[in-house]
Amino acid sequence: MKIFLSVNTKNLKKRGDSLNNGSLKVRAPDADYWKSQINCQSACPVHTDARGYIRAVADGDFERAYLIARSPNPLASICGRVCGAPCESACRRGTLDQSISIRALKRSAIEQGRKRDTKALEIIDRLKEGLKNRDCVDIEDVGGLLQGIEKGSIKKVDGKSVGIIGSGPAGLAAAHDLALLGFKVVIYEMESVPAGMLYLGIPPYRLPRDLIKAEVEVIEALGVEIITNCQVGKDVTFDELKKRHDAVIIAVGMKNSRSLPLPGADGEGVLGGVEFLREVALGLPHEIGNKIVVIGGGNVAYDIARTALRRQQIDIAATAFRDKKGADVTLCCIERREDMLADEIEILEGEEEGVRRQNGYGPQEILTENGKVKGVLFYRITSIFDKEGRFNPQYDKNDAITLEADTVIWGVGQKSDLTFINPDKDGLSMNQRGLIDCDQESLETNSSNVFLAGDLAHGPRLMIDAIASGKKAARSIYSKLTGGSIRHEVSEAHNPIENYGREIGYERLRRQVLSTVSVEDRIKSTEKIVELGFTPGQARVEGSRCLDCGVNTIFDGSKCVLCGGCADVCPELCLKLVSLSELEGDKPFEELTNLMKEKKGTNELSAIIKDEEKCIRCGLCASRCPAGAITMERFSFKESIV
């Protein structure tokens, strides 16, 4: 006797070379499983429902898309320009051809969906009102937080204050959520402008300053006070801050450049990359030469190289020496081209603009003459890591090159400036890397009511990680100072989709290419935006490529007649009918199969297995099924504060 059993698999592990042989490792789906199917949301540190706003864009509902993107992320418009986009790396469409251009679609959602005349506090009200129209609501959703306060599930704080050192993404995100919870928040920023490395480290050709200003204005409208030109340790002591506030968050980031201990590293013309970007951003005096070598291979190194190239062009245009067009910038890194840490778009746009590359060589000495830089000696690298996986570059001294240079700029990493604290006096323990220790769950240090956020809490990561950590610190402070906690319950459902269908030819659409300003125009200024973004029409086309991973094929074993039509019609060959004896599973799977065996009085059971990574949600299996055993259903969940 054969009985149908529905089993879905994710990241199918198999013993054998194909779906057609070997013993298969499967998993019986539960609520966590269905949530994990939405790869983009699972990969986002603040759990943005990217699938939700992408499908809203595809439908032309840009306002709904904006509200979905903004709900968990107070700096959504900034992320629409410069986010590292872990969601794109996780996007299931990437296994078919290329991932969805999620970051660009977030930009479209904000540009088209956020009304220009919307006042700051109106945005917050709209987030709460739009909660009912969102399918996948995580605990990070601000609408849920506001609803919890309104219902009394969260008691709004009164008469307590928090001081935040640093106004970068972590500090701003923490301030945003703390203000919503009722805290009086004061941010202490040593620079003349708020936003930290968002303003000082990311060039304006990538991130327009009006976007930063708009997001900061929303946070200030919530009652957050930002004091600029206030350096902790100089204008106010750390100890004084602890006395002023009920809690303090240290979110200073990593805004000092790292360098390498090479001969000649102290020569005239050797600059720190972060310091160089800061000087350009603030319009401070700085001097660079005609032949620049940037050492490093990540995004920051490209920001440095591309900014330096623009500064050279501006200097050339401002002088009468038109023959000075020999100016050039060369970026050198130890990684091979295919292993570079920089985003592909940074590398390609850098090449378009004239940034030269030297891959696979590491610097050995900065050559000087009378104290001034004249070149850099490099050896070819033979290996970067040792057998234990530790960074331990090895070089071939017989394969050396020398690059002529009058300016060398470091782009090999960043570090924090913690000179404003005295670990012993302030009761802070430091780790072997010279950073402050903290509990990774609460982000609290061993000094009571002192918390960390951003790079200082978890090391250098993406901007969206800093935002997530700021929000996490805010909730930890709420729990610590009120004695309460922000608890939630999860409700989830699968709802059948009537007349399910997809855009014609969606599976064949290629990723849309973002238009850019011509090279000639963009290198004339550090503020000329390079990427133009999608038109509304282009955005809708790109959004329609989304596989909509919140939609699932649900199988009713009691109706199945084991005809195999679903497997035959599947264009991706992701379905297969097999004997239960061919499968291995986790504990819930074993419990379920044992229950079915007992219920049916037989061990001869059949199952349908599905490779989720291949499914394109076309719905052909449901259309083909003669017994109506397959339905296309949308999974939704809400983590509601109680």
pLDDT for the residue numbered 120: 80
> What distance in Å separates the CA atoms of residue 235 and residue 228, rounded to the nearest whole number?
11
- Options 3.50.50.60, 1.10.15.40, 3.40.50.2300, 3.60.15.10; which CATH number does 157-255+416-482 get? 3.50.50.60
> What distance in Å separates the CA atoms of residue 29 and residue 500, rounded to the nearest whole number?
22
- Residue 470 structure tokens: 């700021």
Name the CATH superfamily housing domain 39-150+510-518.
Answer: Alpha-helical ferredoxin (1.10.1060.10)
pLDDT for the residue numbered 255: 93
Alpha carbon distances (Å) from 256 to 12, 273, 278, 375, 420: 45, 9, 10, 24, 14
> What distance in Å separates the CA atoms of residue 526 and residue 305, rounded to the nearest whole number?
12
Q: Is 369 exposed, middle or buried (0-12, 13-18, 19+ CB in 10 A)?
A: exposed
- Options 3.40.50.150, 1.10.1200.10, 3.30.930.10, 3.50.50.60; which CATH number does 259-412 get? 3.50.50.60
Rounded to an integer, what is the distance from CA 536 to the centroid of its chain?
Answer: 24
Q: Fill in the amino acid letter for 307.
A: T
DSSP letter assigned to residue 337: G
Question: Could you state, in order of their start, the residue ranges of all structural domains in the chain?
Answer: 4-33+548-641, 39-150+510-518, 157-255+416-482, 259-412
pLDDT for the residue numbered 12: 42
Closest-CA residue to 416 (of 228, 227, 233, 641): 233
Closest-CA residue to 353 (of 322, 319, 316, 328): 328
Alpha carbon distances (Å) from 362 to 40, 73, 260, 634: 36, 39, 11, 52
pLDDT for the residue numbered 11: 42
- Whether 157-255+416-482 and 259-412 share one fold: the answer is yes
- Residue 30 structure tokens: 């539960």
> What distance in Å separates the CA atoms of residue 414 and residue 434, rounded to the nearest whole number?
13
Q: Write down the H helix ranges in 135-208.
A: 142-151, 169-180, 197-200
pLDDT for the residue numbered 323: 45
- pTM for this prediction: 0.94
> What distance in Å separates the CA atoms of residue 144 and residue 72, rounded to the nearest whole number?
10
Beta bridge partners of 162: 185, 247
pLDDT for the residue numbered 22: 52
The residue count for the chain: 642
pLDDT for the residue numbered 308: 96
Query: pLDDT below 50 — which residues of the chain?
Result: 1-21, 320-324
pLDDT for the residue numbered 557: 85
pLDDT for the residue numbered 13: 39
Closest-CA residue to 497 (of 616, 615, 633, 628): 633
Q: Write down the H helix ranges in 59-98.
A: 62-70, 76-82, 86-90
Three-class SS string for 503-518? CCCHHHCCCCCCCECC
> What distance in Å separates the CA atoms of residue 353 and residue 333, rounded to the nearest whole number?
18
- Options 3.30.1330.10, 3.40.50.150, 3.30.70.20, 2.60.40.1220; which CATH number does 4-33+548-641 get? 3.30.70.20
> What distance in Å separates the CA atoms of residue 33 and residue 590, rounded to the nearest whole number?
16
pLDDT for the residue numbered 20: 47
> What distance in Å separates the CA atoms of residue 67 and residue 71, rounded to the nearest whole number?
6
Helix (H, G, I), strand (E, B) or coil at 271: strand
Q: What is the pLDDT of residues 490-520, one digit of tens each?
A: 999 999 999 999 999 999 999 999 999 999 9
Helix 62-70 and helix 102-113: axis angle, to 10°? 110
Task: Check residue 9 and give left, alpha or beta (phi > 0: left; psi -120 to 50: alpha).
Answer: beta
